[in-house]
Amino acid sequence: MTNDALVSVGRITAQGTSDVVNQLPLWVQEIQAVAAVATTIGVLIALYVAIVREPRKAAEERKHHKARFDALRRAQGKRVAAQARKVFPSSIRTPMFGDSWWTVRIDNTSNAVTTILAVEVKAIDTKGFEVPDGCEQANNTVPLDQAFDRSILAALSTFTGASEQRSSLLPPTFKQALRDALVGHFATAWDRTLSPNQHAVMAYRTTKPDYTLRVTVDYEDQAGYQRRRTDSSQPERISTEPLLSRQR
């Protein structure tokens, strides 16, 4: 091969090498550009997840949990209110002790123990007005033997010519009224706690026979809130937070 041929081959080889060298940076640049774009997309996706998607998802989850919690709280409130309505005061005349005698009763027909906080008994005149000092607690006013005698006479008077055998046929409600009258006559203080299906009684006497009684009871419901109820109204919650938390 002549010198001119060698020079030509050298030039071609040099040119080819130069072209390869010139092409490599382009591929590298394209790869770097693609990598940069991918990185940017990845960063944007991460930002979207961190800033938009996750907070939105968390907010939806919080909203869902809050809705469930509110529903459970409403259901619990309705259940507690229903049980609270099963605690109620009442009063009934006790004519066997006299025209001015009454038996006041607090019933707990709920399925939980109830704490009695206070009981207030007021006399009401024929016009519906409260009479100050119109009634008083009348425990142990009648001697024991007279109380029993009057109870027996009241039971026997239910039947004309009643005998011992027939007196056993007294209606259960009447028997209960007799027992309440006797127990209430000897009671000196209200029971603080009433178990389910338990009641407490106490005897009262008005200053005039035509007066009636209005009974108000404050008690603690199952959730620990204080409620108030009269013998002619539904219970009303009068505390904004459970009693236990206020005592701490």
Name the residue ranges covered by the structural domains of the chain. Answer: 1-84, 87-247
Report yes or no on whether pTM surpasses 0.75.
no
Taking CA atoms, 75 is separated from 42, 100, 147, 190, in Å, by: 47, 45, 48, 32
| Bigger pLDDT: 54 vs 152 | 54
pLDDT in tens, 5-61: 444 544 545 454 455 445 556 555 555 555 665 677 777 777 766 676 666 666 666
Average pLDDT, the chain: 75
**Mean pLDDT value of segment 172-185:** 72
**Identity at 67, one-letter amino acid code:** A
SS3 labels along the chain: CCHHHHHHHHHHHHHHHHHHHHHHHHHHHHHHHHHHHHHHHHHHHHHHHHHHHHHHHHHHHHHHHHHHHHHHHHHHHHHHHHHHCCEEEEEEECCCCCCCEEEEEEEECCCCCEEEEEEEEEEECCCCCEECCCEEECCCCCCHHHHHHHHHHHHHCCCCCCCHHHHCCCCHHHHHHHHHHHHHHHCCCCCCEECCCEEEEEEEEECCCCCEEEEEEEEECCCCCEEEEECCCCCEECCCCCHHHHHC
Q: What is the rounded CA–CA span in Å between residue 210 and residue 191?
A: 29
Of 45-49, 98-102, 133-137, 224-228, the range with the lowest mean pLDDT is 45-49
Q: Give the end-to-end CA distance of the chain in Å, rounded to a whole number.
A: 111
What is the pLDDT, as a whole number, of residue 204?
Answer: 93
**Neighbouring residues of 136: CB distance < 8 A, sequence distance ≥ 6:** 204, 205, 207
